[in-house]
Structure 1
Amino acid sequence: MFKNFSVRDTFDQPKAPPQFTVEGFADDTNPLIPKRDDLYVFDRIKLRDILAFAADPMGDAMWIGGPYGAGKTSIVTQTLSRLNWPTMCFSWHKRREFADLVGHQAIVGGQTKFVHGPLPVCMTHGYALVINEADRGDAGELVGLNDILEGSPLVIPETNEVIHAHPKFRLFVTANSMGSGDASGLYATSIQVLDPAFLDRFRFISVGYLEPDIEESILERVAPKVPQAIRENMIKVANDIRRLFLGGEDGGSELSLTMSTRSLVRWARLTVAFKGAPNAVGFALERAFSNRAEPEQRQAIHQIAADVFGDLWEAN
């Protein structure tokens, strides 16, 4: 049922000692295993944190905080995909309740039946549960997880079931904050301050945007026909946009959207697809990212690109 995976070979980590392994699932056919992205490049330190938690959570859950578009969910799902670890993702928001995690009554075959939600399914089978945007909902609802994180069983009154957590059950949470509110001002209208007792049950890691050399290696893989100078300028543009989105120490964000690695990859790929268009780089940037910005911000984004690319802006 279970299998040991070499960290060096499974995650393309040549510096990892060959004897380092982590236990995952032998069955690679479960439909809940996250889809693998073979182009994904792991941050070594963050990977170490995820693998250590997967190997032995020590009674904790894992909280992954960081800005929008930094890849908080993908580092979890791409790690688990290589371990054949079935995973359920659940997006949290202000209308969510703890009961949504547990299940609901539904009509099945003409009869009313209680249908398990992601929490009992994952607890029963030893799957991973990823709750995304955990700081965007009612702070009191997630407190329902406290007893589960303490090792108590899940009791479902509708069915009188008592579900004990499988030894392989893992709970991950992603959020734009670390649970204590938004000091940056970027998410002032949506981020909630969560219960300290709930937060005390987590280990925390922070995920930022990828380093330029990692993003360059990704772009080289996905769009090798784009000249290196163009790829490097794309990454500079992305990081300038991110800096304006994040603002300074006192907040002051100048852009309301940021460029994720996903958007950056889309930009590079569309540049190849639209290579016959006048200023293919700018044409692709609109379709990959900037067309969803307000007119003033769209103009600012294209001015950033023009400044970074210089003479190359109109020439490609």
Structure 2
Amino acid sequence: MAPGATQTSPAGTGDRPRRRTVRTPGQWAVDVGIVVVLTALALATLYPFLYELTISLSSTAETQQAGLHILPRHPTFAAWQAVLHSSGIVRAYGNTILRTVAGTAISLVLTAMMAYPLAQRTFPHRRSINFLLLLSLLFSGGFIPLFLLVKNIGLLDSRWSLILPGAVGAMNVILMRNFFQAIPAELTEAARVDGASEMRILFRIVLPLSKPVLAVIGLWTALANWNAWFDALLYINDPNKQVLQMFIRNTVVTQQDPLLTGIDTTLQQPPSGQSLGAAAVMIATLPIIALYPFLQKYFAQGILLGSVKG
């Protein structure tokens, strides 16, 4: 029998014959190789997260030992308690949550208001604006002009400096525009005949039908705002307005704003600085990990519909 041929097995009276595909050793080898490679990549991706979790739950003596750290031998929550009792990280957490929620909401509204007219074929100068939008993906002014712009409009040391400069992204506009173009034009035309304004059409008809792409762009924007720290380094000088990632950077890299204020000094074995940094990283990562499964069902659908249609 030829490799990969289909073999028909005998069946009883009145039953359909069952077909069984004969796999060659080469096909089995390819499948095994793919499984091994994907398993290795999954473990390589999972290990840094598991390492940080293990270090955050380890004692000072365990963190100083060399080798792989997979599971803590004597788990302790001293580092987690110290981080959660630190007033600095609580304030930074609040600033990051405020930035993420406000930044994501403002970004979605502004992106939709820019993508909707570009999705209308009767919009004047539509091609020129789309060309400029694509051009901005290839060239940018750089950090110095952006810093001067933020300074000249009076946003330095303001929370708005972390939200407004990156509120509208060219890629997000293109993705949402393509999704809007896939919505049947008969819906918007019927609304115009009934006397609905363009803003009413956008917020009452188009956006309710665009939940997949809104979820995708919202997820991307929320992740970007949650993990951002460089703009806070440039624009924010007030320690009361620092975001969580900047706080962790100062703690782990430059050893500023230490988390030792939340540690009970009477403890015989207080957590090490490495455990404190790992606990802070885990606390900063867990909200995004908890949020992602709720938006994952929209992720692939939104990307495919927004990128293929148009």
TM range (shorter): under 0.3
Larger radius of gyration: 2
Tell me the TM-score normalised to structure 2 length. Answer: 0.20
Q: Which has the higher contact order (CA 8 A, sep 6+)?
A: 2
Give the number of the structure whose residues are more often helix, by fraction: 2
